[in-house]
Amino acid sequence: MIAENINDVKNFMSTLLIKDSFDKFLVTDVTIVTYNTFHIDGHINKDFYTNEEFEDINSPLLSSWAKLKPFCFDIIKGKKTPLYFKIIFSLPEMMIEKLLHDNDILLTKENIANLFLNIKYDKGVLSYTTGTSLNIFTIDKSLEKAFDLYISKFISTLS
């Protein structure tokens, strides 16, 4: 797990809310505090769709940032910055598989519950943390280290 502050808040927020850099990430949860507190649960309600519609959207159990970003942008935009926000991203399966393959990690995607990227803005400070959740017990930290390095490089390319 790593926890880092993001110094160039304006550039990062532009990348997060306008560009497509995060669009493939899945969203577990969003909380935005402005004049109200807004909460978005990223879990898809399968019952909202017919079986055919659900198959057509070819979606996992979580919404992508590309789908939720416009709503979040509408809440955040304006002259005043939010008092607080937190976005919990989850790595999609294809990115997990690539991470495992590229780093020769012996775990399977079934061993991994989730890989998280948390982005938080609070009291003028923007930060991110990473987290790993496994379905098995292991003392091997190669996945955590590879994921932390991947996210660090990803964030550094946004500046």
- How many domains are there within the chain? 1
Per-residue pLDDT tens digits for 9-45: 999 999 999 999 999 999 999 999 999 999 999 999 9
Q: Which among 73, 24, 16, 148 is positioned nearest to 8, based on CA atoms?
A: 16
Comparing CA positions, the residue from 32, 28, 43, 34 lying closest to residue 118 is 28
Q: Which residue has the higher pLDDT, 61 or 128?
A: 128
Average the pLDDT over 83-104 and give the result.
96
Rounded Cα gap, residues 119 and 130, in angstroms: 9
Q: Which two tokens stand for residue 17?
A: 């809310």
**CA–CA distance, 7 with 158 (Å, rounded to integer):** 12
Please compute the mean of the pLDDT values over residues 1-12 and round it to a whole number: 94
- Domain encompassing residue 145: 3-157
Structural contact between residues 119 and 76, judged by C-beta atoms closer than 8 angstroms: no
Query: Residue 47: what pLDDT?
Result: 87
Percent of the chain past pLDDT 70, that is, above it, reads: 98
Alpha-carbon torsion, ordered 16, 17, 23, 26, to 10 deg: 80
Q: Are 42 and 30 in contact (CB under 8 A)?
A: yes
Q: What is the pLDDT of residue 42?
A: 96
Assess whether pLDDT exceeds 90 at residue 82: yes
- Looking at residue 59, its pLDDT comes to 64
Averaged pLDDT for residues 62-79: 94
**Residue 60: per-residue pLDDT:** 73
